Amino acid sequence: MKSSFSKLINGDKPVLIDFHATWCGPCKAMSPILKQVAQSVGDEVRIIKIDIDKNQTLAQQLQVRGVPTFMLYKDGNLKWRASGMQSKQQLLAQVEGLSDTTL
């Protein structure tokens, strides 16, 4: 599990990870916002959703205490982390700060 996660975050593109749960209301509310962010960033940023119930070990290793939790990685390094609802603008601002191009 850990090695595949390392491969995931060590790519040449920034990676935005959404740690979520199927039973989480705010997580469901974030889904359309993440789709809008994905449309805005195109292939400049990878957006990955990880279900904490199916990936409990990873969630524990990363100390995910609540959902939704967002983590933004670039070159394998954590650049930003936030828990709770985020607006499209908040997410885009973080992503744009890491991307080589203006979105």
Q: Based on the residue annotation, tell me whether 12 is a catalytic residue of this protein.
A: no
Which residues are paired to 83 by β-bridges? 69
- Relative orientation angle of helices 25-41 and 88-98, to the nearest 10 degrees: 50
DSSP calls for 53-73: TT-HHHHHHTT--SSSEEEEE
Helices assigned H by DSSP within 10-62: 25-41, 56-61
Question: Hunting for tokens 């390392």 — which residue is that?
Answer: 6
Q: Is 43 a catalytic residue?
A: no
- Name the catalytic one among 16, 17, 21, 27: 27
Catalytic residue among 24, 38, 47, 48: 24
The residues assigned a catalytic role are 24, 27
